[in-house]
Chain A
């Protein structure tokens, strides 16, 4: 398969993730959609890495996975803290960002 097919799939996944980030209100699902966007970027990185026969893109993808794991850790911690304070779990209700 040519590399272009992989890039097309990565673009589609990225756009689906961006769509989800824009329309969903549950912060858990927003985090999942952020994961989708990061995965689309990862697929493009690895496809380009394969295209040039160079491992740098794969290292970059591993670093992106690390950053995604950190983001999940912090985001889920925030959601648990929000739930503890009995606040609504809804990004529209929480738009004022005050404790």
Chain B
């Protein structure tokens, strides 16, 4: 059963990774990465890392991917295919060797990693892992991880929180709206500052007559609305 689940999840992981690299539209790349992350969470569960799997789904596939989707939607139509990596502009600069060299590099790296990982002398790599007994405080549960994080790895925990704070501040500083390029002349418009006929600005003016401030600005014209009122009174 776990073997079947492993192969399904592994195929999902690798297909998602391939989809991220080969998709034409960055939006589809993000969606492929979401599928990749969900399959990876299944692999983490098979490896008895329940807390990490849950954090992966919630933090990565939830929050971080939402951030990606927003930025892709904001930046817009930067479409390119795997083949158009060798498009006109790069060809004019003579960078035709990028794709073959990329394939070569990745292939050599894969062979080397597989030799290093599978050809190692570690006997335990062939086994299915250390003995595991389920329970509320077993290996990989939130209680276990929390105990480790707040005792042995307290310093790493605090440094990670500080790093997140710095990154959040840095993200805001980087993405804020800067002055320059003629974007600074943003006048503040108030509805009362727009030129308009007398007595039409606010409801208070309509009900109580003109405000003293407006009468001051309006000068002699400010007496006009009062005339029909006087006429009406005498009529």
The interface of chain A, by Cβ under 8 A from chain B, is 1-9, 11-20, 22-26, 28-29, 31-33, 35-36, 39, 42-44, 46-47, 49-56, 58-59, 61-63, 65-74, 76-81, 83-85, 89-90, 92-93
Contact A63/B75 with A3-B128, A22-B105, A55-B148 known, Cβ cut-off 8 Å: no
The interface of chain B, by Cβ under 8 A from chain A, is 2-3, 6, 10, 13-14, 17-18, 20-21, 26, 29-30, 33, 36-37, 40, 43-44, 46-49, 51-52, 55-56, 59-60, 63-64, 67-68, 71-72, 74-75, 78, 80, 82, 85, 89-90, 93, 95, 98-99, 101-103, 105-107, 109-110, 113-114, 117-118, 124-132, 139-140, 144-145, 148-149, 153, 156, 160, 163-164, 166-168, 170-175, 177-178, 181
Q: Contact: B21 with A69, CB < 8 Å?
A: no
Select from chain B the residue with minimum beta-carbon distance to A17: B17
Q: Contact: B130 with A53, CB < 8 Å?
A: yes
Select from chain B the residue with minimum beta-carbon distance to A5: B6
Residues of A within 8 A of B130 (CB): 50-54
30 contacts between A and B (CB under 8 A): A2-B126, A2-B128, A7-B117, A7-B125, A11-B114, A13-B14, A14-B113, A17-B17, A22-B101, A23-B98, A28-B26, A28-B75, A29-B20, A33-B21, A36-B33, A42-B40, A43-B44, A50-B139, A58-B49, A58-B140, A66-B160, A66-B164, A67-B163, A68-B60, A69-B167, A71-B167, A72-B64, A73-B167, A74-B174, A77-B173
Q: Contact: A62 with B145, CB < 8 Å?
A: yes
Q: Contact: B75 with A79, CB < 8 Å?
A: yes
Q: Find B67's partner among A59, A72, A93 (CB 8 Å cutoff).
A: A72
Q: Contact: A63 with B175, CB < 8 Å?
A: no
Q: Contact: B98 with A51, CB < 8 Å?
A: no
Q: Find A13's partner among B17, B129, B174 (CB 8 Å cutoff).
A: B17
If A15-B113, A55-B144 are given as contacts, then 16 extra A-B residue pairs at C-beta distance below 8 Å, sorted by A number, are A3-B125, A3-B129, A9-B14, A12-B14, A13-B13, A16-B20, A19-B103, A24-B21, A26-B26, A31-B68, A43-B44, A47-B47, A58-B145, A59-B145, A69-B167, A74-B174
Contact A1/B2 with A7-B118, A19-B106, A28-B71 known, Cβ cut-off 8 Å: yes
Residues of A within 8 A of B167 (CB): 69-71, 73-74
Residues of A within 8 A of B48 (CB): 50
Q: Contact: A1 with B52, CB < 8 Å?
A: no
- Distance in Å from the Cβ of B194 to the closest Cβ of chain A? 30
Residues of B within 8 A of A46 (CB): 44, 47, 49, 52
Q: A68 to B101, alpha carbons, bound, how many Å?
A: 27
Q: Find B82's partner among A16, A23, A52, A84 (CB 8 Å cutoff).
A: A23
Q: A29 to B80, alpha carbons, bound, how many Å?
A: 10
Residues of B within 8 A of A62 (CB): 52, 55, 145, 149, 160
Q: A13 to B43, alpha carbons, bound, how many Å?
A: 13
Select from chain A the residue with minimum beta-carbon distance to B101: A22
Residues of B within 8 A of A4 (CB): 117-118, 125-126
Contact A55/B140 with A1-B128, A4-B118, A73-B168 known, Cβ cut-off 8 Å: yes
